[in-house]
Structures are given as structure tokens and as C-alpha cells.
């Protein structure tokens, strides 16, 4: 993996892409808050469902935050898996 800081990139669009990704993440968080749904993220090799109202960072001990959950989001497809 390249550990070079993105701000040192030769391509002028690369640093701008980081800002665009941050804006998109914030927009997704706002949308999830408005629709009362959880955000789906990949963290520590697992799919996580996080509450958009909670902070996204893990606690100081490295454990997942209270916002993390591994339970599936309510399935609105109408299929019963039980």
C-alpha cells in the first residue's frame, strides 16, 4: 500500500477527490438521519450497521463504538428468513 499523503499527489484531482468523498459521506449521514436508517460500512473486516446520530470513531480502547452493530437492518422485501 502507498503510504504517501494524498496532499502530495501529482494529480491535482486526487486531493479534491478526498474532499468529495467526505462531502458524500456527510450527505449519506444526513440522508440516513432523515430516513431513520442505519449506515452500512466496512470496518475491521466486517460489515457494520451504524447509527448515523452516533460518533463514527471507535472509543479510546479501540473497541467498536456504541453506534456499531452487526445485526441486519430491517428487511423491507417482505421475505421471512425465520
Hey, where are the domains in the chain?
Answer: 12-72
Report whether 33 contacts 21 (CB < 8 A).
Answer: no
The pLDDT tens digits of the residues spanning 30-48 come to: 999 999 999 999 999 999 9
Q: How confident is the model at residue 28 (pLDDT cuts 50, 70, 90)?
A: very high
pLDDT of amino acid 78:
47
What whole-number distance in Å separates Cα of residue 43 and Cα of residue 68? 9
More confident residue, 54 or 40: 40
- pTM of whole model > 0.75? no
Distinct helix (H) and strand (E) counts, the chain: 1, 2
Amino acid at each position: 500500500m502507498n503510504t504517501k499523503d494524498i496532499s502530495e499527489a501529482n494529480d491535482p484531482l486526487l486531493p479534491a477527490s478526498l474532499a468529495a468523498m467526505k462531502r458524500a459521506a456527510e450527505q449519506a449521514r444526513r440522508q440516513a438521519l432523515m430516513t431513520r436508517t442505519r449506515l452500512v460500512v466496512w470496518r475491521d473486516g466486517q460489515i457494520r450497521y451504524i447509527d448515523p446520530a452516533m460518533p463514527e470513531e471507535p472509543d479510546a480502547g479501540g473497541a467498536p463504538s456504541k453506534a456499531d452493530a452487526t445485526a441486519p437492518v430491517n428487511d423491507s422485501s417482505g421475505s421471512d428468513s425465520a
